[in-house]
Amino acid sequence: MKINIGVALLGAAAAIGCLTLFANGKRPINNMPGTEATPIVKTAYTTTTGPAAQPVDFEKAAIAAVPAVVHIKTLTKYKQIAGRQAPNQDQDPMSEMFRRFFGDGGGREFQQQSPDQRASGSGVIISQDGYIVTNNHVVDGATEITVTLNNRKNYTAKVIGTDRNTDLALIKIDGKGLPVMAVGNSDDVKLGQWVLAIGYPLNLDVTVTQGIVSAKSRNIGINTQASAPVEAFIQTDAAVNPGSSGGALVSTNGELIAINSAIASPTGTFAGYAYSIPSNLMKKVIGDIMKYGSVQRGFLGVSLAPEGLDDAKKKEFGINTDVDGIYVMDVDPKGAAGEAGIKKGDVIVKLNGAKVDEVAQLAEIIARQKPGDGVKITFSRNGSEQTVNAVLKNKLGSFDSTGPAAMESMGADFSDLSKDDAAELGVNGGVVVSNIHDGGVLSSQTNMRPGFIITKVGDQPVSSVDEFKDALSKQGNNFQIQGVYPDSKEIYYYGINDFKK
């Protein structure tokens, strides 16, 4: 949640009211004569003897945590964007704008210059010598990063590493003896516990809000730019607004339990729910960046049934509703789970001895491991439970079912480029696109013409239909298709967006 400085001014009028419940000092009348109202659950405000206990103390936690939360301001200098318009195509101003942004190429050259962009976010100091955790989307693409501490001192920061899959980033300033926030154990977080959100929302000075944990392992599908996104957010009703991204979600002990990352809102400002990245996942990701320079992520190699399926879909997939767990839709035979004996149709019920019943929960546990780590999987098959040990691998995996489905969604016919045609065009091979159908991805998102020859999908070269199918199965939501037309020597690029939605 970056807030663009100077784009919009957000203001609010404060209304102050007073409600006197029992102005006459009398006790409320009980509807049941001769009885006393007794709370079903006794709270910190209710005691049977002696004076009432004091409410939860937020003051000590705020005093301890606030100095370690910083204000991050970024500058992204203008970039000159160049590209081509596809030949024999009418130019529509709006579609041309989107094609320029996503890299869709063509025959007619154009250039566009975008203005400087300034934005604002938050961060948390995790070491006395200046390492700071924030969100990837706070610093992504920034050419200048300025960090302001709670004591008003300014520093220039550099990016050490980022992870788009978890939307985390590590930046560094040159400092000594800086205030550091203690990092807590997010696995110990409970529903209903009090938390504080600390950050710099709406370009204001440091701000502290309070709320409770309202959900765990929440997946809201917001990270559409990643190839293998991990969303297992802690949900809270503590007020969080644009500019709070990268700030701290803090327990009443003053410990960091999550990094604030997103809000659910129809207006772009806080509307009741905020989402934060658990500290245990953050520790793994940031620890890898500090040690290796990039995230060392292990993969299980399974395709899992999405949550929220209705009964008809469950019946279609053959999901056993009598077992609480996560249904395995497909297995990469060369992946960690496949080599351990997991099969399509199994239901994963435990991971490392802990019960799992949500995909986001399982994804977070796996994301905290690295390639070569062993995990213990307990699954149900034909009514009986079994436990196997799997060794995680360093690739996502490929599944028999995803390739054909991805090919079908493209909405065209594909064939291998002949060796003679490849030699004439000066390419190693490719996939010829023909009969582009209405309603498919290629017709709805690109101006591709029949006869186009695909040579690359994302960063993966393709020389056959089988390679094209494999490349599609490994792409994220957004990627580019690269290739040539037989009658042109130019390379063309077509942007594909929201591919897996």
CA pair distance 484, 492, nearest whole angstrom: 6
| From 97-101, 191-195, 265-269, 415-419, the region with the lowest mean pLDDT | 97-101
Place of tokens 């949500």: 358
- Marked catalytic residue, from 104, 163, 167, 330: 167
Place of tokens 């920034």: 142
pLDDT tier, 104 (very low <50, low <70, confident <90, very high otherwise): very low
pLDDT at 321 over 90: no
DSSP state, residue 187: G
Alpha-carbon distance values, 347 to 329, 344, 357 (Å): 9, 9, 10
| 193 within 8 A of 235, measured Cβ to Cβ | no
DSSP state, residue 30: P
CA pair distance 197, 205, nearest whole angstrom: 14
| From 353-367, 399-413, 423-437, the region with the lowest mean pLDDT | 399-413
pLDDT at 15 over 90: no
Determine what percent of the chain falls in helix, strand and coil, rounding each to the nearest 5. 20, 30, 50
pLDDT at 330 over 70: yes
pLDDT at 5 over 60: no
Alpha-carbon distance values, 293 to 9, 145, 168, 228, 452 (Å): 38, 19, 13, 19, 39
- Which position has the higher pLDDT, 299 or 222? 299
- Marked catalytic residue, from 137, 288, 346, 398: 137
- Give percent above pLDDT 70 in the chain: 77
pLDDT at 399: 53
CA dihedral 253, 254, 259, 265 (to 10 degrees): 80
pLDDT at 195: 96
pLDDT at 479: 84
pLDDT at 3 over 60: no
Alpha-carbon distance values, 150 to 174, 251, 256 (Å): 16, 20, 17
pLDDT at 79: 55
pLDDT at 21: 30
pLDDT tier, 177 (very low <50, low <70, confident <90, very high otherwise): very high
Average pLDDT over residues 427-439: 86
pLDDT at 31 over 50: no
pLDDT at 409: 76
Place of tokens 């149709």: 345
pTM here is 0.64
Q: CA 349: distance to chain centroid?
A: 24
pLDDT at 238: 94
46-64 pLDDT tens trace: 444 555 555 678 999 999 9
Task: Let me know if 167 is a catalytic residue.
Answer: yes
| 192 within 8 A of 212, measured Cβ to Cβ | yes
Stated as kind and residue range, the H or E segment containing 63 is helix 59-65
pLDDT at 266: 79
Residue 316 zone, left/alpha/beta (φ > 0; ψ -120 to 50; rest) = alpha
pLDDT at 8: 29
pLDDT at 37 over 70: no
Residues with Cβ within 8 Å of 184's Cβ and at least 6 positions away in sequence, in order, are: 251, 253, 255, 256, 257, 279
Planar angle of CA 207, 211, 213, nearest 5 degrees: 125
Closest CA to 76 of 124, 4, 125: 4
pLDDT tier, 170 (very low <50, low <70, confident <90, very high otherwise): very high
pLDDT at 458 over 70: yes
Average pLDDT over residues 173-185: 95
- Average pLDDT over all residues of the chain: 80
pLDDT at 366 over 50: yes
Average pLDDT over residues 72-80: 81
| From 51-65, 113-127, 394-408, the region with the lowest mean pLDDT | 394-408
249-260 pLDDT tens trace: 999 999 999 999
pLDDT at 439 over 90: no
| 241 within 8 A of 265, measured Cβ to Cβ | no
| From 24-28, 393-397, 475-479, the region with the lowest mean pLDDT | 24-28
Place of tokens 């976010």: 121
pLDDT tier, 225 (very low <50, low <70, confident <90, very high otherwise): low
Stated as kind and residue range, the H or E segment containing 137 is helix 136-139
| From 29-38, 397-406, 442-451, the region with the lowest mean pLDDT | 29-38
- Marked catalytic residue, from 245, 276, 303, 463: 245
pLDDT at 236 over 80: yes
Task: Let me know if 437 is a catalytic residue.
Answer: no
Specify the 3-state DSSP secondary structure of 480: strand
Task: Let me know if 346 is a catalytic residue.
Answer: no
342-363 pLDDT tens trace: 999 899 999 999 899 888 889 8
| 455 within 8 A of 482, measured Cβ to Cβ | yes
